[in-house]
Amino acid sequence: MIRILIAEDQSMVLGALSALLDLEDDLEVIATAENGEIAFKKAQQLDIDIVLTDIEMPHMTGIELAQALQQAKHPAKVMILTTFTRSGYLRRAMDAGVKGYLLKDASSDSLAQAVRQINQGKVIVAPELITQAWGEVDPLTDKERKILRLAFEGKSTEQISKAIFLSTGTVRNYLSEASSKLGATNRIEAARIAKQNGWL
Q: Are 84 and 147 within one domain?
A: no
Cα separation, 46 vs 100, in Å, equals 21
Q: Are 7 and 93 within one domain?
A: yes
| pLDDT reported for residue 195 | 85
The H or E element that residue 52 is part of is strand 50-53
Structural domains counted in the chain: 2
Tell me the one-letter amino acid at 170: T
Q: Is the pLDDT of residue 7 over 90?
A: yes
Determine contact, residues 19/112, Cβ cutoff 8 Å.
no
pLDDT digits (tens, 9 = 90+) for 15-47: 999 999 999 999 999 999 999 999 999 999 999
Cα separation, 6 vs 65, in Å, equals 12
pLDDT digits (tens, 9 = 90+) for 131-183: 555 556 778 998 999 999 999 999 999 999 999 999 999 999 999 999 998 88
Cα separation, 70 vs 7, in Å, equals 16
| pLDDT reported for residue 28 | 97
Distances from the Cα of 95 to the Cα of 28, 42, 65, 74, angstroms: 27, 23, 13, 16
CATH code of 128's domain: 3.40.50.2300
pLDDT digits (tens, 9 = 90+) for 90-125: 888 988 999 999 988 888 889 999 999 999 999 999
Choosing from 133, 151, 179, the residue where a domain stops is 133
Q: Are 12 and 88 within one domain?
A: yes
Choosing from 133, 159, 179, the residue where a domain stops is 133
Q: Hey, how many other C-beta atoms are within 10 angstroms of the C-beta on 155?
A: 16
Residue of higher predicted confidence among 92 and 9: 9
Question: 3: exposed, middle or buried (C-beta count within 10 Å: 0-12, 13-18, 19+)?
Answer: middle
pLDDT digits (tens, 9 = 90+) for 54-97: 999 988 999 999 999 999 999 999 999 988 777 678 888 988 99
Those residues with Cβ within 8 angstroms of residue 80's Cβ, 6 or more apart along the chain or in another chain: 53, 54, 55, 62, 63, 66, 89, 93, 98, 100, 101, 102
Residue-range definition of the domain harbouring residue 166: 142-196
